[in-house]
C-alpha cells in the first residue's frame, strides 16, 4: 500500500494516507488485546528509529551503528522528564527527540569527516560506550538497575478505566504517522535531493553547490532525533530504562530492520519495525517447539538477527528496493496469519524473506 511512488507525491497525499491509516489503526486497537496494543507501541518505537536510520544510511549513505545509543538518550530523557518531573507527554516526547538530536549533532560533526568503515567504527564505539555512562552517573541515571518509567496516564476525557496500553498505542501510532509524514516530505524536498546527491557522489554534489559536510550533519541530526523519539516510546512501552536495554545488539537490530525493510524506503521501515518485534517471538516459539534449553533459546533470536542480516544482504545484493515489496507481502501474510502457528512458522521465516527474490517474483510463499 505504501509504494515508492507514494513518496514522490506532495504533502497532501502523505497527509491523507497518514490520516486514513491512523484512523484505521485507532479503530483496530479497540479490538486487540492489551498485550497486542503494547506490542504496537513497541513496533512503533522501532519503526521510528528504523525510519531515521533508513534516511541516514539509505538516502545519505552514512552508516551508523550508534542508533541504539541515540534511542538511549531519548529513553533516559523521557524517564527523567515524564516520570520524575511529570512534564506533559507531548513536551517530553519532543524534548526526547531534541536531546537525541543534540547528541546526533555532536556525533554528526565528527562523522562528516569519516567514511565507510571509519564511520562504522566511530559509531560502534558510541553504541558500546554511551550506555556505560549511566553507571558513571548512577545517582541521576540509576546505574545498572536503571530508572522506572510510568506509562502515560490516558487523557481524562477517555475515562478512568481506559486501558493505558491502548492509549500508549494511540500515542505511538500518532508519533509514527507524524514522523513518517515529516520524513516523507523531507525526502521529496530539496534536502532529500541533496541527501541523495551527496550519497551518490560527494565531489559532484559539492561542485553543484551542495555543502556536503553540512548536509551530512543535518542527516545525522534528523536521524538521531527519530531514534530519540523511538527511544522515548520504547521507554514508555517497556516501563524501564537501563543500560542492558541499549546494548550494541539494539543498534544492530535497528540496522537489521533498516536493511530488511529496504534502505531508504520509509514504507520498508514499517516492515522492519514489525520484524524486530516478531523475530524474537518466532525464535522463542521455535525453541519451545524443539524444547531447547534456556541458554540456547535466549541466544536464538540474536543468532536469527545475524542469519537474517546475512541472508537478506546476500539475497538482495543490488539493494532491496525491488524485492522489498514482495518480501513485505510475505511478511505481512505471515503477520496476518499470526504467530500462533509456532515452531514451523519461525523456521520458515528467513527462507520466507528470500524466496520471493530467488524465484524472481510472487510474494506468496508456502
Region of 29-37, 121-129, 169-177, 355-363 interacting with other proteins (CB under 8 A): 121-129
Report in angstroms the alpha-carbon separations of 227 from 100, 136, 269: 7, 23, 12
Encoded one letter per residue, x for contact with other proteins by CB under 8 A and - for no contact, window 273-302 reads ----------------------xx-xxx-x
Q: Cβ distance 36 to 21 under 8 Å?
A: no
Q: Which of 63, 175, 186, 237 binds other proteins (CB under 8 A)?
A: 63
Q: Where are the beta strands (DSSP E) in the chain?
A: 147-148, 240-241
For other proteins, give the closer residue by CB, 94 or 309.
309
Q: What count of other Cβ atoms lies within 10 Å of the Cβ of residue 166?
A: 22
Task: Please list, in sequence order, all residues whose beta carbon lies within 8 angstroms of the beta carbon of residue 6, skipping any fewer than 6 positions away.
Answer: 13, 14, 17, 184, 267
Nearer to other proteins, 231 or 243 (CB): 243
Whichever of 88 and 117 has its CB closer to other proteins, that residue is 117
Q: How far, in Å, are 290, 301, 302 from residue 295 at the CA level?
A: 13, 11, 12
Q: Which stretch binds other proteins (CB under 8 A): 185-193, 204-212, 223-231, 251-259?
A: 251-259
Cα gap 121→119, rounded to integer Å: 5
d(CA 189, CA 224): 19
Using CB under 8 A as the binding rule, whether residue 32 contacts other proteins is answered as no
Residue from 5, 12, 27, 132 in contact with other proteins (CB under 8 A): 132
Q: Which residue has the cell 491509516?
A: 21
Among residues 30, 116, 214, 362, the one that binds other proteins under rule CB under 8 A:
116
Compute how many residues bind other proteins; rule: CB under 8 A: 50
Site for other proteins contains 351 (CB under 8 A) = no
109 to each of 102, 211, 261, how far by Cα in Å?
11, 13, 28
249 binds other proteins (CB under 8 A): yes
Rounded to an integer, what distance in angstroms lies between the CA atom of residue 252 and that of residue 258? Answer: 10
The answer to whether residues 176 and 47 touch, using CB atoms and an 8 Å cutoff, is: yes
Name the one range near other proteins by CB under 8 A: 2-10, 82-90, 130-138, 341-349. 130-138
> What is the 8-class DSSP label of residue 246?
G
213 binds other proteins (CB under 8 A): no
Note whether 164 binds other proteins by CB under 8 A.
Answer: no
Residue 82 carries which DSSP code?
A: I
Closest distance to other proteins from the beta carbon of 82 (Å): 25
* Among 1, 113, 290, 344, contact with other proteins (rule: CB under 8 A): 113
Q: Is 317 in the site for other proteins (CB under 8 A)?
A: yes
Question: In angstroms, what is the minimal distance from the CB of 230 to other proteins?
Answer: 20
Instruction: For the CB of residue 253, give the shortest distance to other proteins in the complex, in Å.
Output: 9
Taking a C-beta distance cutoff of 8 angstroms, is the pair 316, 349 a contact?
A: no
CB of 56 to other proteins, least distance (A): 11
143: left (phi over 0), alpha (psi -120 to 50) or beta: left
Residues lying near other proteins in the complex (CB under 8 A) are found at 57, 61, 63, 65, 110, 113-118, 120-122, 124-126, 128-130, 132-133, 135-136, 202, 247-249, 252, 255-256, 259, 263, 295-296, 298-300, 302-303, 305-310, 313-314, 317-318
Amino acid at each position: 500500500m505504501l509504494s515508492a511512488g507514494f513518496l514522490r507525491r506532495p504533502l497532501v497525499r502523505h497527509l491523507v494516507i497518514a490520516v486514513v491509516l491512523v484512523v484505521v489503526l485507532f479503530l483496530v486497537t479497540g479490538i486487540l488485546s492489551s498485550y497486542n496494543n503494547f506490542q504496537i507501541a513497541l513496533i512503533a518505537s522501532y519503526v521510528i528509529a528504523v525510519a531515521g536510520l533508513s534516511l541516514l544510511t539509505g538516502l545519505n549513505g552514512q552508516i551508523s551503528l550508534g542508533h541504539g545509543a541515540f534511542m538511549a538518550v531519548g529513553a533516559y530523557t523521557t524517564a527523567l522528564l515524564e516520570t520524575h518531573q511529570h512534564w506533559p507527554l507531548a513536551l517530553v516526547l519532543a524534548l526526547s527527540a531534541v536531546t537525541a538530536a543534540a547528541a546526533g549533532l555532536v556525533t554528526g560533526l565528527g562523522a562528516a569527516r569519516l567514511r565507510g568503515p571509519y564511520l562504522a567504527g566511530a559509531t560502534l564505539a558510541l553504541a558500546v560506550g554511551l550506555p556505560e555512562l549511566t553507571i558513571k552517573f548512577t545517582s541521576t541515571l540509576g546505574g545498572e538497575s536503571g530508572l522506572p518509567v510510568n506509562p502515560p496516564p490516558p487523557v481524562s476525557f477517555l475515562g478512568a478505566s481506559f486501558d493505558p496500553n491502548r492509549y500508549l498505542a494511540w500515542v505511538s501510532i500518532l508519533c509514527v504517522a507524524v514522523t513518517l509524514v515529516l520524513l516523507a516530505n523531507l525526502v521529496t524536498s530539496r534536502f532529500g535531493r541533496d541527501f541523495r546527491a551527496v550519497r551518490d557522489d560527494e565531489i559532484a554534489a559539492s561542485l553543484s553547490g551542495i555543502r556536503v559536510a553540512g548536509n551530512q550533519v543535518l542527516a545525522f541530526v534528523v536521524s538521531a532525533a527519530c531514534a530519540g523519539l523511538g527511544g522515548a516510546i520504547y521507554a514508555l512501552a517497556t516501563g524501564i530504562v537501563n543500560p542492558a536495554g541499549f546494548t550494541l545488539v539494539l543498534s544492530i537490530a535497528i540496522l537489521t530492520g533498516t536493511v530488511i525493510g529496504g534502505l531508504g524506503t520509509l514504507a520498508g521501515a514499517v516492515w522492519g519495525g514489525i520484524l524486530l518485534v516478531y523475530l524474537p517471538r518466532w525464535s522463542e516459539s521455535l525453541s519451545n517447539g524443539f524444547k531447547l534449553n534456556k541458554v540456547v533459546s535466549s541466544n536464538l533470536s540474536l543468532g536469527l538477527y545475524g542469519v537474517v542480516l546475512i541472508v537478506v544482504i546476500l539475497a538482495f545484493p543490488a539493494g532491496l528496493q525491488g524485492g522489498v515489496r514482495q518480501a513485505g507481502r510475505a511478511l505481512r501474510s505471515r503477520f496476518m496469519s499470526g504467530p500462533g502457528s509456532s515452531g514451523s512458522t519461525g523456521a520458515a521465516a528467513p527462507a520466507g524473506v528470500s524466496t520471493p527474490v530467488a524465484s524472481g517474483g510472487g510474494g506468496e510463499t508456502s
